[in-house]
Amino acid sequence: MKFDIFDKYSYKTSMREKDISENQIGNLIKVIAFFWLLTKVWSYKTWITERVYPVIPPLDILKNVPDFLHQFLFGFSLLALLTVLCFKNNLWLLIALFFSEVLSCSLDTVRWQPWEYMYLCFLLMVIINFYKPKNILLLSHLFLVSIYFFSGLHKFSRDFLSAVWLNMVLVDFFGLSMNFILKYKLFFTGLLIPFVEIALAILLFISKSKKKISYLLILMHLGILIFIGPLGLKYNSVVWPWNLAMIFILIIIYSKPVDPVNKNILIPNLYWIVLWFVMPVFSLFGSWYQYFSFNLYSGKGDQMYICISGNEKELEPYFEHKKNTLCKGKPYINLQNWALKEIKSAPLPEIEIYRKIGVHMKQKYSKDHLKIILYNHQTQKSIEL
């Protein structure tokens, strides 16, 4: 009789834990759907072809895909996300959403944004483990560890100190003079940022107080929003909803204790471990996509400049007004600023993509009127494409 009572108690406890996990996953899916929908609406020109910024598919065979397919996939995505947000989770709808997003991203490389990649990973996790909510929570935990670890690791460079810490944080945000920065030796204090980010990622993995660590990460995201948000530099507005999403994701994932990682979970999900913890290592050597490794605000990489000598009126709204010696006094466009201004998304920071954009620009406009230059602000080296 005692065993029957014990079994009933264990069963009720197990069912209660399952209900809690399912509620967490339900909330997680709706939070992702809401902020994904908000981000796609805000950056709508990223997902359609009616724009000046070039549409660059990864394969030449996809160049002639009709415009209406881009629009249809965008519309379907918005409708699917709205349905996920308003109704009970449906596995087949989530599958349809996943494949429509993958197809849309296959038509234009500028859609390979880090937030899009993150949401797709979360979505696929849910699809594969739809009836295993605890698996989703544990994998989400590991994914967050990867995001923060590699985001911090990429910032351990002089590029970050110069382009982001010095220029954006100390000078643009705080308004400090170079004399003040040099006097108080503030330049290298910027290394505290990647150190803290990596330390929090490690603690998130090993600490028993994951909820407390998540609070520190939430404070970090609030700091980012103050820094680049409407009260700060008003920069890269498309990632504002992403930072808000990360705050809610952290709250949901760590609202209850996360189960310990063990081989029974790791072995069947080894492909996720390879994707999140092995492949990003290759990005440090230029052999894996930077955005798929959460190389964000590191200051690394080249900037693309388009020098214009002809009368290309549709490009005029994106001309820069600062002097630039690369273009020898001619009008020019900074590709990153152009993308952020028109489509609200940053260009993929990969040389192969830059080359494709250069080829497209010279085909669309007279190649005699354009000069495409890749310039690294840290090494001060330039390459003409």
- The C-alpha atoms of residue 93 and residue 54 are separated, in whole angstroms, by 31
Q: Would you say 77 and 100 are in contact if contact means Cβ atoms under 8 Å apart?
A: yes
Tens-place pLDDT, residues 99-153: 999 999 999 999 999 999 999 999 999 999 999 999 999 999 999 999 999 999 9
Identify the pLDDT of residue 8. 52
What is the separation of C-alpha 133 from the centre of its chain, rounded to a whole number of angstroms?
25
Identify the pLDDT of residue 20. 63
Task: Indicate whether 297 pLDDT > 90.
Answer: no
What is the separation of C-alpha 14 from the centre of its chain, rounded to a whole number of angstroms?
36
Contacts of 285 (CB under 8 A, 6+ apart): none
73 versus 300: which is more confidently predicted? 73
Contacts of 106 (CB under 8 A, 6+ apart): 57, 58, 62
Q: What percent of the chain has pLDDT over 90?
A: 72
Tens-place pLDDT, residues 91-104: 999 999 999 999 99
Task: Indicate whether 9 pLDDT > 50.
Answer: no
Q: Would you say 224 and 243 are in contact if contact means Cβ atoms under 8 Å apart?
A: yes
Identify the pLDDT of residue 385. 77
On average, the pLDDT of the chain sits at: 90
Identify the pLDDT of residue 19. 58
Identify the pLDDT of residue 336. 94
Identify the pLDDT of residue 273. 95
Query: What pTM was computed for the model?
Result: 0.92
Q: What are the structure tokens assigned to 35, written together?
A: 């902020």
Instruction: List helix spans (H) across the chain.
Output: 2-42, 67-86, 91-105, 114-128, 133-154, 158-159, 178-183, 192-206, 210-228, 240-253, 263-266, 270-273, 279-283, 335-342, 351-364
Tens-place pLDDT, residues 156-185: 988 999 999 999 999 999 999 999 999 999
Per-range mean pLDDT, top range of 131-135, 198-202, 319-323, 366-370:
198-202
Q: Which residue has the tokens 């990005």?
A: 283
- The C-alpha atoms of residue 104 and residue 75 are separated, in whole angstroms, by 11
